[in-house]
Amino acid sequence: MKLKKMEGVTSLSVWVILVFGWGVEPAMSASMDIKAVFRPDPSRPMENKFINETPVTGHCQLQSEFCKDRGLFSLLMPIDFVSVAPIEARHSSSRKGAMFRVPGQWQVLRVRNTTTQEYSELEVRIASIGGRYVLPDTAENLVGEGEPTTVQGWHTRLWGDWTWNPPAPCQATGGMYTAPATRTFFWLTPTASECAATANYRISNLSYDRMQIGYELRTPNPLQMSSGLYVGDWTYTVGPGMDFDMGDIMQPSSSTLKLNFTLDVQHTLKVDVPPGGNRVELVPQGGWQSWLQQGRKPTRLFRDQTFNISASSRFKMNLECQYTQDGRTCSLREPVSGHVVPLNISVSLPHGLTDVGGQAVNRRQLLRDGSGTELFQPSVYVDRKPGTLHFEVPADEVAEMIKPGSRRQYSGNVTVIWDSEV
């Protein structure tokens, strides 16, 4: 009897991509792409997470350790802001000056597999805002009083130390840069909060460029996803009273910011059978010597065949048979007499692989229609762990197979299928 693996079924690759990038769309719309990927790592089988592979721009490119410790990623936004009216000194309303409100709550969106159409859920939130403000003149000339000590001192006098110590509840991040008429800023923004700075002197016009956001991601469990590309998007509104709200004075170059996500999952499903393992010989317990030397008929013919499996995704199993008596199980046939006997085949899977109910898989019967083995799933990435295929002729059939003085040889081809297309 031969055992073979079905070509193209025992291996599986899955890509997950999240993409944030540059690009301003026409009709007052801006978009960014985020890219993340899952590839199982044999050296870290317990860490089954997506890796954000979006190129980092902005603050986290310069302050990588700060962002890494907080699970934060930054991207330059393709949106600028310009003032449509002067900012008056000591304005009474925060909306008439430099104010910032960002959508800091977690947003849940669906990403859909482009091939299977199944979906999963992704969460994203905006955790910080930053950029560079540009004044119409130097901070020293705008203030117009006293002898300058440092450039920072003039900006502090103008804004009340806006960027180094941002208005509460926003939080400083460090690493800011100052010039006579410009200054960078990057603030952590607590959920549903407004951060506003009051100008101490009149500013005839103001603009923000090199705007950037810091974002956090909660990605789905890749072990519960099929291989393939998952895509989805989320659109934020930008402008006074919108998701990104910079007050009534500062107007954006785009009224929306669309985040495009592509999740690329690269799973592994690979089965290795030892050399010679595709030819399975059924023998009695202890071999044939008891019958040959003592005349004891065997009551059991069986063989356990090991294999090594690597799996990070769901899969199912079933059989194909050269001979079958009932349409569900495989059989062996003796060509001279035409006698056919059933062959029971079952599988035991290594720790970390369970059935749909979360139960261990021990001697689970394999059938042609795959019933009972429709779904196996990993709780961790299983890398080259041993499993077993069990082959056995039922005990009540063995006596009929063995006839003294009659040479018989039963055989049959069986295909065991590990299929990732669940």
pLDDT interval class at 11 (50, 70, 90)? very low
Q: What is the pLDDT of residues 102-150, one digit of tens each?
A: 999 999 999 999 999 999 999 999 999 999 999 999 988 998 875 555 6
Query: Into which CATH architecture does domain 2-7+269-419 fall?
Result: Sandwich (2.60)
Scanning 49-159, the segments in alpha helix (DSSP H) are 59-62, 64-70, 139-143, 151-159
Q: What is the pLDDT of residue 154?
A: 82
Strands (DSSP E) found in 77-180 = 81-83, 98-101, 107-113, 119-134
- Selected residue with higher pLDDT from 376 and 163: 376
User: What global pTM score does this model have?
Assistant: 0.81
- Selected residue with higher pLDDT from 22 and 33: 33
pLDDT interval class at 5 (50, 70, 90)? very low
Maximum separation of any 2 CA atoms in the chain, in Å: 119
List the domain boundaries for the chain: 2-7+269-419, 24-265
With a cut of 90, say whether residue 172 has pLDDT above it. no
Could you say which DSSP state residue 277 is in?
T
281-320: burial string, b at 16+ Cβ within 10 Å, e else:
ebebeeeeeeeeeeeeebeebbeebebbbbbbbbbbbbbe
> Alpha-carbon distance 37 to 263, whole Å?
6
Chain centroid to CA 330: 39
Q: What is the pLDDT of residue 130?
A: 93
- Selected residue with higher pLDDT from 164 and 390: 390
70 three-class SS:
helix
Q: What is the pLDDT of residues 31-68, one digit of tens each?
A: 999 999 999 988 888 889 999 999 999 999 988 999 99
With a cut of 90, say whether residue 414 has pLDDT above it. yes
* Mean of pLDDT over the chain: 87
Q: What is the pLDDT of residues 322-364, one digit of tens each?
A: 999 999 999 999 999 999 999 999 999 999 999 999 999 999 9
pLDDT interval class at 290 (50, 70, 90)? low
Q: What is the pLDDT of residue 1?
A: 39
> Alpha-carbon distance 244 to 175, whole Å?
24
> Alpha-carbon distance 299 to 395, whole Å?
6
Q: What is the pLDDT of residue 402?
A: 81
With a cut of 70, say whether residue 19 has pLDDT above it. no
Cα–Cα distance list, 218 to 112, 153, 286 (Å): 16, 41, 55
- Selected residue with higher pLDDT from 16 and 281: 281
